[in-house]
Structure 1
Amino acid sequence: MKKFILSGVLIFFVFTGCAPQNRTQSGALIGAAGGAAAGALAGQIIGKDTEGTLIGAAVGSAVGGAAGAGVGYMMDKQERDLNQALAASNAAAIHREGNLLAITLKGDVSFDSGSANINPGLYSEIDRIAQIMIQYPQTRIQVEGHTDSQGSDASNMELSRRRANSVMNALVQRGVDSSRIIVIPFGESQPVATNATPEGRQKNRRVEIKIEPSSAG
C-alpha cells in the first residue's frame, strides 16, 4: 500500500519538479501543477480514512497532473498555430495569460467609426483564426466588443454588441460551432488608448477574442 502511495507522489513531482526547457513544456507544466492540485483535493474528498485520504490525494495528484499537462500542451499548440497563421498580419495581435489566449482585432483596420461592419481587410485574418479554432474543438470562445467614446454610453454599448456579433457570425460562417461562442459587449468602458485623438479612437474600436479550454481534462 505504501508503495502505491509513493508511486503517486513521485508522478506528481515528475510533473512539477522539472524545469521547463521551452514554451511547450512550460505550458504543459503549468497545466500539470494546476491539475495535480485539483486532483489531490478530489482524492482527499474521496478518501474514507487517513490512509485512504493519502492514497486518494496521491492518485488524484497524478491523474489531475496528467490531465492538466494535456490542456497546457493543447493551448501551447494552438498559440503556436495562431502565431504562425497571423505572423504577417497587421490587424491582429495575440497575447497569452496562463491557458487563456487573447486575440485583439485592431481598431484601425477592423471597423469604421460608428459602424459594426467588418472592414474587408480583416476577413483574411478571420479566415485564418477560424481554421485554427476548428482544429481545437476542446476550447470555448468569448468575443468581446469595444468602442471609442464618441456617442452616448448606451449607443456605444449597443454598437460594441453588434461589432462582437459581426465577428462571431463571421467565425460561424467559416465553420466554428456557435455553441462554443459567447458575446460580451463592453462599450467604451475599457479603452486601450486615449479617446482624445483619431489614432487613439481607432485603437479603441476593436474586438477581442478570448480562447480558453472548455474543461480541465
Structure 2
Amino acid sequence: MFTPRSLSMVAAATVLALMAGCAAQNPYDPNTQVPQEGGVSKAAKYGGLGALAGAVAGAAINHDNRGKGAMIGAAVAGLAGAGYGYYADKQEAQLRQQMQGTGVEVQRQGDDIKLIMPGNITFATDSANIAPSFYTPLNNLANSFKQFNQNSIEIVGYTDSTGSRQHNMDLSQRRAQSVAAYLTSQGVDGTRVSTRGMGPDQPIASNADANGRAQNRRVEVNLKALPGAQGTAAPQQQYQ
C-alpha cells in the first residue's frame, strides 16, 4: 500500500518531469500555426503522463521501498515520453513551415503526424505519374525524412468513386508506390517506407460533386515512431 510519503514522492516526480518538458525548447511559434495547447508542449504533456504511469509501475515493482521505486519509474518513463514527444514536436514544426503555401495539410494526433496531399497537386486524372507541382513538396519531405529518421513512413493512395472499384484500387496503389519510389530515389531509407492503395474507401468528402471528388483524390503520409524510438529518441542526437 502507498504511504503518504511514497505518494508525495510520486507527485514530486511527476511535477519534475512536467517541469523538464516545459523547460525544453518549445518549437511552437505563431508563425508556424502550430497549436499552443494552453502553453504546454506535447513533450511536457507526454513526459508528465509517462512519469505518472512509470511512478505507479515503479512503486508496484519495488515492494521494499515504494517511494524510491516510484521516483525511478517516473524518471525513466518521463524522460522517454518527453524525448520522443519533443522529437515529434520539432518534426511537426518543420513540416508545417515547409508545407506552407503548397496545399499540403499537416495534422497531429498524439505522437503521430499525418500529411494530406490533395489531388490537385499530386497526379493528373487517371495517372500515377507525379505532377510537376508535386515535386517541391516531395523534395521538402525527403529532406525532412532524412533528418528525422526515427519514424516509419506509410504512404496511402486514395481515389474518388468514379470508375470501377478494381481500377481505383490499382490506381491508388500505383500512386502510393510512385511517391515511395521518388522519396527513396532522393535518399530516404526504403526500409522505413510502406505503401497502401485504398481506392475509394474512407472518403473525406462527398463524391456527389466535383469539389468533393477532388478532395477524395489524395495521398496521405502517416508518420509513426519506429519500434523502440519512443524510448531512445534523444533530441540532441537525432537532429542538430
**TM-score of Structure 1 vs Structure 2, range by shorter chain:** 0.7 to 0.9
Q: CA deviation at 1:18?
A: 9.1
Equivalent residues in 2 for 1:113-132, closer than 5 Å: 113-132=125-144
Unaligned runs of 5+ in 2: 29-35, 232-240
Q: CA deviation at 1:121?
A: 0.8
- Identify if the C-alpha distance between structure 1 residues 163 and 34 changes in structure 2 by more than 3 Å, giving closer, same or farther: farther
Q: CA deviation at 1:105?
A: 1.0
How many residues are treated as equivalent by the alignment?
213
Contact 2:176 2:219 in 1 (8 A): yes
- Identify if the C-alpha distance between structure 1 residues 40 and 3 changes in structure 2 by more than 3 Å, giving closer, same or farther: closer
Contact 2:169 2:200 in 1 (8 A): yes
SS in 2 for 1:79: helix
Corresponding residue for residue 72 of structure 2: 59
- 2:54 matches 1:39: yes
- 2:208 matches 1:179: no
SS in 1 for 2:41: helix
Corresponding residue for residue 230 of structure 2: 216
AA aligned opposite 2:149: P
TM-score scaled by length of structure 1? 0.85
How far, CA to CA, are the matches of 1:158 and 1:111 in structure 2?
Answer: 14
How far, CA to CA, are the matches of 1:45 and 1:172 in structure 2?
Answer: 46
How far, CA to CA, are the matches of 1:171 and 1:13 in structure 2?
Answer: 42
Q: CA deviation at 1:34?
A: 3.9
- 2:44 matches 1:29: yes
Over aligned residues, Cα RMSD in angstroms? 2.8
- Identify if the C-alpha distance between structure 1 residues 88 and 169 changes in structure 2 by more than 3 Å, giving closer, same or farther: same
**1:112-139 Cα distance to aligned partner (Å, 9 max, x none):** 2222222111011100011011111111
Contact 1:109 1:119 in 2 (8 A): yes
- 2:200 matches 1:188: yes
Corresponding residue for residue 95 of structure 2: 82
**1:8-47 Cα distance to aligned partner (Å, 9 max, x none):** 6523222347996864841111220343245346535643
Equivalent residues in 2 for 1:128-207, closer than 5 Å: 128-207=140-219
Corresponding residue for residue 94 of structure 1: 106
Contact 2:118 2:219 in 1 (8 A): yes
AA aligned opposite 1:170: Y
Q: CA deviation at 1:164?
A: 1.0
SS in 2 for 1:208: strand
1:10 maps to which of 9, 12, 19: 12
Q: CA deviation at 1:199?
A: 2.5
SS in 2 for 1:78: helix
Unaligned runs of 5+ in 1: none
Contact 2:21 2:47 in 1 (8 A): no
- Identify if the C-alpha distance between structure 1 residues 39 and 18 changes in structure 2 by more than 3 Å, giving closer, same or farther: closer
AA aligned opposite 2:99: L
Q: Answer with 22-31 or 150-159: which moved more.
A: 22-31
How far, CA to CA, are the matches of 1:39 and 1:98 in structure 2?
Answer: 18
How far, CA to CA, are the matches of 2:197 and 2:59 in structure 1?
Answer: 41
- Identify if the C-alpha distance between structure 1 residues 184 and 42 changes in structure 2 by more than 3 Å, giving closer, same or farther: farther
Contact 1:44 1:57 in 2 (8 A): yes
SS in 2 for 1:169: helix
